[in-house]
């Protein structure tokens, strides 16, 4: 009698199936991001938040869009679990779709710290120059910031806006007693905000401290134009000014009581040059504060709780923008404490102190002269 050989089980089957499952969940996440981007940009969520349950015809009419597209999007959002439908069995054009209140806060409430719609704009922006990105990976070149377009710039600005307006001048700076006192005192304190983007950090400081004057500096002209418009809309054009300047330009001059850089040092091709300029811009008794990502101190295979996101930004955007100008420090989003300390010491600072300010994504550094 011949023996039937036992079935050899695939030793990798469990791992393969778990990975398949993960990839399918990721695909669902990508559809969430891109379809939420559509709903946000087209004003669909705002209409649903303001008007309650809507049919596809009502949504299309109130947003100047095409009914067939609106219907497909409403159905897709419902199947994805983002919207709810009042009567799923009704005829297609008669179904009413609603945005649940908890989802409405995340998708439409610009003043909420839970507002996350801009994340979709930022992610879509980060994927725009994919062909140039592939080329950069092959050649070692970079992708200029401008290639990422308005979505990247606006998404970045809107992601940080609420924190800058609500927390920067009301929680973060008050946690640095000497800086807080100086910003409140006479004569008016002067603040330089390096890599200011669309200006919300400069505006947040000026709103919280009515005496201060702020100069925001950024190399990207569209960002500076947006910043000027934001300051004008906030009624701050007399105290907050924006300038198109390279942060590492050694001819930057001033006598500032506070010099800041929010989420930008890791993007700079010449971070040491920029820190040297920040050192020169600060008065002898001025403070230099850098806010950057709260990544771990060393590489670990799992990364800390924010590194999955920071590495994501890095492979798509921050490393390639940093490498668009050569020579480049090629930092990437995952700028660890020791890296910043090295840059600071090379720029002439004595040391770097990590400030005791709690934030999930950010770490606060004070550079000591
Ligand atoms: C990630 S964004 C941060 C913007 C803003 N600080 C914020 O937190 O929303 C980085 C900013 O650094 C600016 N930037 C990059 N290289 C620069 C340079 N050499 N000089 C000045 N700004 C620069 C970019 O234009 C961009 O606005």
The torsion defined by the Cα of 17, 23, 29 and 30, in degrees rounded to 10, comes to -160
Q: Name the one residue in this structure whose structure tokens are 């005192």.
A: 185
**C-alpha 76 – ligand 1 centre gap (Å):** 36
Ligand 1 atom having least distance to the Cα of 318: 1
Residue of the CA atom closest to atom 26 of ligand 1:
197
Ligand 1 atom having least distance to the Cα of 161: 9
Residue of the CA atom closest to atom 9 of ligand 1:
157
CATH code of 123-368, in short, is 3.40.50.150
Residue of the CA atom closest to atom 4 of ligand 1:
197
CATH C-level class of 13-109 = mainly alpha
In angstroms, the first-to-last Cα distance of the chain is 87
Greatest alpha-carbon pair distance for the chain in Å reads: 102
Domain extents for the chain? 13-109, 123-368
Q: What is the pLDDT of residue 66?
A: 98
**C-alpha 308 – ligand 1 centre gap (Å):** 22
Residue of the CA atom closest to atom 11 of ligand 1:
195
In which residue ranges of the chain is pLDDT below 50? none
**C-alpha 91 – ligand 1 centre gap (Å):** 50
State the pTM of this model.
Answer: 0.95
**C-alpha 284 – ligand 1 centre gap (Å):** 25
**C-alpha 232 – ligand 1 centre gap (Å):** 20
Q: What is the pLDDT of residue 36?
A: 98
Between helices 117-127 and 149-163, what is the axis angle to 10°?
150
Mutate which of 205, 218, 259 for ligand 1 pocket (most atoms within 8 A of beta carbon): 218
Ligand 1 atom having least distance to the Cα of 261: 6
Six token digits for residue 353: 């102190």
**C-alpha 140 – ligand 1 centre gap (Å):** 21
Ligand 1 atom having least distance to the Cα of 246: 20
Residue of the CA atom closest to atom 14 of ligand 1:
195
pLDDT tens per residue across span 102-117:
999 999 999 999 999 9
Ligand 1 atom having least distance to the Cα of 291: 8
User: Smallest Cα–Cα separation from 76: which of 105, 36, 124?
Assistant: 36
Query: Which residues, 6 or more positions from 239, have their beta carbon under 8 angstroms from its beta carbon?
Result: 206, 212, 213, 214
State how far the Cα of 291 lies from the Cα of 362, in Å rounded to an integer. Answer: 6
Q: What is the pLDDT of residue 4?
A: 60
**Which CA distances in Å does 340 have to 195, 298, 334, 349, 366?**
16, 13, 11, 11, 11
Six token digits for residue 287: 């403070």
Residue of the CA atom closest to atom 16 of ligand 1:
268
Helical segments of the chain, H only: 13-41, 44-51, 56-63, 67-79, 101-108, 117-127, 130-139, 149-163, 177-184, 200-208, 221-233, 271-281, 307-313, 319-322, 337-346
Query: What residue ranges line ligand 1, CB within 6 angstroms?
Result: 145, 156-157, 160, 195-197, 201, 217-220, 223, 246-248, 262-264, 267-268
**C-alpha 101 – ligand 1 centre gap (Å):** 34
Contact 197, 148 (CB under 8 A): no
Residue of the CA atom closest to atom 2 of ligand 1:
264
Q: Name the one residue in this structure whose structure tokens are 């700079």.
A: 268
**C-alpha 318 – ligand 1 centre gap (Å):** 10
**C-alpha 50 – ligand 1 centre gap (Å):** 35
């Amino acid at each position: 009698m011949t023996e039937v050989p036992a079935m050899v089980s695939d030793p990798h089957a469990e791992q393969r199936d778990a990975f398949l499952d993960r990839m399918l969940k990721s695909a669902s996440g990508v559809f969430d991001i891109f379809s939420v981007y559509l709903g946000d940009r087209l004003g669909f969520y705002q209409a649903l938040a303001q008007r309650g349950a809507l049919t596809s015809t009502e949504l299309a009419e109130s947003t100047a869009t095409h009914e067939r597209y609106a219907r497909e999007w409403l159905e897709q959002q419902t199947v994805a679990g983002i919207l709810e439908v009042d009567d799923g069995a009704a005829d297609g054009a008669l179904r009413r779709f609603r945005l649940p209140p908890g989802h409405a806060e995340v998708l439409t409430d610009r003043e909420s710290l839970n507002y996350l719609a801009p994340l979709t704009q930022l992610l879509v922006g980060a994927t725009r120059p994919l062909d140039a990105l592939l080329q950069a990976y092959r050649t070692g070149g970079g992708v200029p910031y401008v290639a990422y377009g308005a979505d990247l710039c606006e998404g970045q600005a809107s992601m940080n806006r609420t924190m800058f307006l609500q927390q920067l001048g009301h929680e973060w700076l008050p946690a640095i007693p000497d800086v807080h006192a100086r910003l409140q005192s006479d004569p008016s304190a002067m603040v330089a905000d390096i890599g200011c983007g669309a200006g919300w950090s400069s505006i947040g400081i000026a709103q919280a401290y009515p005496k201060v004057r702020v100069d925001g500096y950024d190399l990207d002209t569209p960002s500076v134009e947006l910043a000027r418009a934001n300051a004008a809309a906030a009624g701050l054009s007399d105290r907050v000014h924006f300038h198109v300047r390279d942060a590492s330009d050694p001819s930057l001059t001033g006598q500032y009581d506070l010099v800041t850089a929010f989420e930008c040092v890791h993007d700079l091709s010449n971070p040491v040059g920029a820190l040297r300029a920040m050192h020169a811009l600060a008065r002898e008794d001025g403070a230099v504060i850098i806010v950057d990502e709260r990544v771990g101190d060393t590489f670990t295979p799992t990364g800390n709780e924010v590194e999955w996101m920071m590495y994501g930004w890095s492979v798509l955007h921050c490393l390639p923008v940093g490498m668009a100008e050569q020579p480049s420090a090629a930092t990437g989003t995952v700028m660890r404490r020791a890296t910043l300390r090295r840059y600071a010491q090379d720029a002439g600072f004595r040391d770097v102190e990590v400030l005791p300010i709690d934030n999930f994504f950010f770490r606060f550094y004070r550079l000591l002269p």
